[in-house]
Amino acid sequence: MEYLVEYGVFLAETVTIVIAIVLIIGSIASMGSKNKKQTEGHIEITNMSEDLSEIKEGMLEEVLSEEEYKLLKKEKKQQEKSKQKEQKQRLKAQKARLKAQKKAVKSVTSPDKQTSEDVEKTVETSDATEDSSDQAPNPEEKGRLFVINFDGDIEASEVENLREEITAIVSIADEKDEVLLRLESPGGLVHAYGLAASQLSRIKAANLKLTIAVDQVAASGGYMMACVADKIIAAPFAILGSIGVVAELPNFHRLLKHNKVDYEQHTAGEYKRTITMFSENTEAARKKFKQELEETHDLFKQFIEQNRPALDIAKVATGEHWYGTQALTLGLIDEIQTSDDYIVSRAEETEIFEIEYHVKKPLAERLTFSVHSAIEKGFLSVWKKNIESGLFK
């Protein structure tokens, strides 16, 4: 027992020293970065097409015989040469078309230098080259698929990253491109998820197709985001729906009254406060609070109706949630499919890029988190050892 006490004192002293060191280093780091932006971040782009191709190539090399693999490599090389040849032809036709168009424009601006027959001939040449360029296959015309992720908490705190990712995509994407959002969220604050949904609306405003994939859950505010999509796909047992509004809080009025503690709250405006945690709540206050919840629910339903007009909102806006297969029947989603299946299915026809915005945390914050994790693991380790040795019963 004496050993245990000594060990506890030693552990407490060690933790105190470590915390003191972290606070000192954190203070120095904070002072050094006082005038620097703490929210500096950068966009990271991963070519998922290349990653998938490498995985496939590695698997084929392992499962095929040496002769079969060599033959496959030869066929692939021929296909790549054919693609490169087609691309060169397309670029050559495009250059000819642009040259003919410039010549046609020049002839219109300087009619005295060319006869009408020359102009007609130039226009015909322009049309012919344009037709030839249309016939030539263009691998770039198939568009790109941009993949982004959103793992939502109650405050939808990832909306800041989402904003930067969408801004980056919109700045380079065109109408041939598509955005896939892999969404996971049980919902949270109304205004926070309202902003997240508004960020997704920017994608559609830019005339880009938006597909949202739900592998596990998109409920309440999560579904508010999902309904913005042109297409919603979900795994068979993903949870969707929960189109409702909830608010709950404890009331300590009787506890304060029992302990003879007075609580005062002063407001200007009849409904500045309705339900509170410390005052005695009246029926009038409860009625007003309930009215506010109903109004929020109505706005929620209107938003979903605007984005999915075919949905029977009266049937699904009950606060209930459903699994993927049930959600498909109700019209909450459009297809049963996981995000992985969707990405793999598109890999053959388009280039796929994953876009992620990363923020570099300040040194003090990183140190604090690391030490906190270390201390937590240390205590758990000691507790586990003591449990195993039978010291705590």
Nearest C-alpha neighbor of 338 from the set 239, 231, 215: 215
DSSP labels for 327-350? HHHHTS-SEE--HHHHHHHHHTTS
Pairing of strands 41-47, 351-359: antiparallel
272 among known catalytic residues? yes
| Range 366-369, long-range pairs (CB < 8 A, 24+ positions) | 367/22, 367/25, 367/26, 367/29, 368/22, 368/26
Nearest C-alpha neighbor of 47 from the set 35, 58, 37, 55: 55
Q: Which of 37, 260, 272, 393 is catalytic?
A: 272
Q: Name the phi and psi angles at 259, rounded to 5.
A: -95, 15
* Torsion from C-alpha of 46, 51, 52, 57, nearest 10 degrees: 160
Contacts with 315 (C-beta within 8 Å, 6 or more apart), sequence order: 330
Count of positions (residues) in the chain: 393
- What the block records as the tokens of 221 is 């505010």
220 among known catalytic residues? yes
Q: Which of 126, 133, 220, 242 is catalytic?
A: 220
Strand partners, 43: 357
Checking phi first, is residue 207 left (phi over 0); if not, alpha (psi -120 to 50) or beta? left
**Distance separating alpha carbons of residues 256 and 260, to the nearest angstrom:** 6
Residue pair 107/118 in contact (Cβ under 8 Å)? The answer is yes
Active site residues: 220, 272
